[in-house]
Amino acid sequence: MSEQQPQQPQQPQQAPNAQDTTQPIFAVEKVYVKDMSVEVPGAPKVFLSNETPQVEVNISTAANVVEQGALYEVVLTATITTKTAERTLCLVEVAQAGLFHIRNLPPQDLDAVLGILCPSTLLPYAREAVSSAMSHAGFPPVLLHHMDFSQAYQQAAQQRAAQAGGQAPAQPTVN
């Protein structure tokens, strides 16, 4: 008879870079509506008008550091103004925000992530909030189209490069 030796528990094998703390990290921590405003200044008379209104859509973004080197808030603000030649019928503003965990990126890549990837992530949420707000205000929904935030980011980068003496950089705006 042979003696059986107790088996040693096997150590879990780690992925080759599991301990590497220099790998870039990008994670969406939270998406939320930071601010929302709906105004229908001429209600209920505006609903009796047969005029075809014009709709203006303005989009802007801003990024803020919440926790240095780790957590960033990006806010995509959509302002929709519905008006006729003589008056504003409806004004909707939605500030769709997100908290993003971002680590181990070079500064130029971090700026691009905050100016392109994060707003692109927030856009579908802003689209739904704007559409719902317009409907609840009694108007047809406004659907925000897909936007190329890289173009707005490039324009803002060119503006920053053209500015002298450390003035505050312009925030990208897509119309």
Mean pLDDT along residues 126-152: 94
CA 21, 24, 28, 30: dihedral to nearest 10 degrees? 50
pLDDT at 24: 93
Residue 127 has pLDDT above 90, yes or no: yes
Within a domain: 114: yes
pLDDT of residue 3: 55
Measured distance CA(159)–CA(116) in Å, rounded? 16
Rounded CA-CA distance 79/59 in Å is 6
Evaluate whether residue 45 is within a structural domain: yes
Written as six digits, the tokens of 149 are: 């935030």
- 172 is a domain residue: no
CATH of the domain at 128: 3.10.420.10
**Domain membership of residue 72 as a residue range:** 25-150
Enter the tokens of residue 81: 């103004």
The answer to whether residue 159 sits within a structural domain is: no
Domains identified in the chain, total number: 1
pLDDT tens column, 48-62:
888 889 999 999 999
Residue bearing the bigger pLDDT, 96 or 171 = 96
User: Does 134 fall in a domain?
Assistant: yes
Answer yes or no: is 44 within a domain. Answer: yes
Residue 15 maps to a domain: no
DSSP state of 114: I
Looking at 4-163, list the stretches that DSSP marks H as alpha helix, in order from N- to C-terminal side.
107-112, 118-136, 149-162
Q: Is residue 165 in a domain?
A: no
The pairing of strands 71-83 and 173-174 is unpaired
CA torsion sign for 159, 160, 164, 169 is: positive
